[in-house]
Amino acid sequence: MSDRLSSFCGVNILVVGDVMLDYYQWCEVTRISPEAPVPVVRVRDKTSVLGGAANVAANLAGLGCKTVLLGARGDDEAGRVLAHHLRSAGIEDKLLIEPHRPTTTKTRVLAQGQQLIRLDEEEIGILSAAAAEELFSRYRALLPGKRAVILSDYGKGVLSGALCRDMIGHAGARNVAVLVDPKGKDWDRYRHATCITPNESELEAVLGGPGKSEQDLLTGAIKVQKELCLDHLLVTRGAKGMILVRRDGEPAVIAAKPREVFDVSGAGDTVIAVLAAGVAAGLSWSNAARVANAAAGAVVGKVGTHAISMDELQVALRLDEIGSLHKIFNLDDAKMQVDAWRVLGERVVFTNGCFDLLHVGHIKLLQAAAKEGSKLVVGLNSDASVGRLKGVGRPILRQQDRASILAALECVDMVVIFDEDTPLNLIQVLRPEVLVKGADYVRTGVVGHQLVEAWGGQVVLVPLAAGSSTTNIVKMIQKNSSLH
């Protein structure tokens, strides 16, 4: 199915809903306050990412979709930061600026790998009549040319019942699919949508409580799908996978692979974004749901709200059978995860290479590197980087395949693909305690050695396996081929 992902590029999708800005404060706790029986939290770093409907849009943009975001934000600092993130992600910003309505923010304080507290700054309430009319006017103007619409309802007031009904009706009359991430118990406002994507708890709340069996859940999902005149209803169930109920056809149960779960924040945003992109790109609903299921498995393995990229989605599908999906990171998320490890006292080791046709020499290097600390991060040269370093015909395996193979190794805790010729930027950002290379290097020739030693780290050179190299393997294959 991964060969169909290229069709996601350029697919035109409109996202409407409650936008948010997610702040993270990365902290450590070393003592109890003398003023009160509470921990003293020392802030080590602060980051911010798009949240709510804005995170849905970020997921679409990461997949290469042409993404437009409609909603409302405040005329405040958080709103300006949110707008900056939208520009950086390549998302077309059509947000209304409401001077008397603050931008919704969620600040999560994390220490020792746990969330200590979440601080919400928001004003919940429907938009004024004038603002709602302006929003719908923009919606009508933006709809032509869109392959799908996503209504991302977080219950903050942007998607009132009347506005939902008008938007669904307007799109339906023009044969544009509308997918809804629902909120609350009043789902009548989503009637005639193409699909809604509740999680299991949300569906049970609408049904009046949890059922006694899996069959009860399925029966309830079918009942809601029929009562609301939906074409599809996708129930997300975390580790238990998904259930897709269809107007035409039997329900489909989509199993989830076992995942290491760090954070479920934003997983629903990823599901609806990937589902919409898949359907808009021509995938069947069941195949689009399976791709979304794999994508959800990727984001729950990251710390914090995370928008998936096309590279990560391709890796996710390749790793769905292996179960190592959570180990592959982009640079921003790698920094976030390494910071979290460091707060927990982990010793981070870094090594890098092309790792084209993994051989015994690579394995011995990685196993030796892993023994130098508690977490091993592998920097992997991208395809473009390998081509510049190794010449025509290299790499033999694509970067997604090389990353998948590395992630399957027990001794590897993280893989980060980089496009530069050297990993210097990776090292600067991740600040490993140990930098490992093969003994064919001298210490002063190892890229990044000055940085690592400057912050108190060390460079370790490990012995190489004699005669082991990708070049030798290629020569042997060519020699054997010529004999036949």
The CATH number of domain 2-308 is 3.90.226.10: no
**382's torsion region: left (phi>0), alpha (psi -120 to 50) or beta?**
beta
What does the block give as tokens for 155? 């219950």
The CATH code that applies to domain 331-483 is 3.40.50.620
What does the block give as tokens for 278? 């898949």
Query: Which band of pLDDT confidence, cut at 50, 70 and 90, is reported for residue 302?
Result: low
Q: What mean pLDDT is reported for the chain?
A: 89
Query: Which band of pLDDT confidence, cut at 50, 70 and 90, is reported for residue 391?
Result: confident
For β-strands 348-353 and 242-246, DSSP reports them as: unpaired
What is the rounded distance in angstroms from the CA atom of residue 457 to the CA atom of residue 350?
A: 11
Q: Indicate the domain borders of the chain.
A: 2-308, 331-483
The pLDDT assigned to 341 comes to: 77
Give the residue-averaged pLDDT of 176-192. Answer: 96
Give the residue-averaged pLDDT of 454-469. Answer: 83
What is the rounded distance in angstroms from the CA atom of residue 445 to the CA atom of residue 7?
A: 43
Among 213-227, 300-314, 323-337, name the most confident range: 213-227
SS3 content of the chain, % helix, strand, coil (to 5): 40, 25, 35
Query: Which band of pLDDT confidence, cut at 50, 70 and 90, is reported for residue 170?
Result: very high
For β-strands 114-121 and 105-111, DSSP reports them as: antiparallel
Active-site positions?
269
The pLDDT assigned to 269 comes to: 94
The pLDDT assigned to 245 comes to: 92
The pLDDT assigned to 66 comes to: 97
What is the rounded distance in angstroms from the CA atom of residue 50 to the CA atom of residue 81?
A: 9
The pLDDT assigned to 264 comes to: 64
What does the block give as tokens for 224? 């809601």
Would you give the distance in Å from CA 69 to the centre of its chain? 18
Kindly report, residue by residue over 24-82, the tens digit of the pLDDT: 999 988 899 999 998 899 998 899 999 999 999 999 999 999 999 999 999 999 999 99
The pLDDT assigned to 325 comes to: 59
The pLDDT assigned to 394 comes to: 86
Is 482 a residue whose pLDDT tops 60? no
Number of other CB atoms surrounding residue 477 within 10 Å: 12
Give the residue-averaged pLDDT of 299-309. Answer: 77
The pLDDT assigned to 344 comes to: 65
Is 3 a residue whose pLDDT tops 60? no
What is the rounded distance in angstroms from the CA atom of residue 438 to the CA atom of residue 376?
A: 15
Is the whole model's pTM more than 0.75, yes or no? no
List own/partner pairs for 299-302 with CB under 8 A and 24 or more apart.
Answer: 299/266, 299/267, 299/270, 300/259, 300/261, 300/262, 300/263, 300/264, 300/267, 300/326, 301/259, 301/260, 301/261, 301/262, 301/325, 301/326, 301/327, 302/262, 302/263, 302/326, 302/329, 302/333, 302/336, 302/337
Is 336 a residue whose pLDDT tops 80? no
Kindly report, residue by residue over 102-155, the tens digit of the pLDDT: 999 999 998 877 889 999 999 999 999 999 999 999 999 999 999 999 999 999
Are 298 and 308 in contact, with CB atoms under 8 Å apart?
yes
The pLDDT assigned to 418 comes to: 96
85-89, 230-234, 367-371, 462-466, range with the lowest pLDDT: 462-466
pLDDT-above-90 percentage for the chain: 64
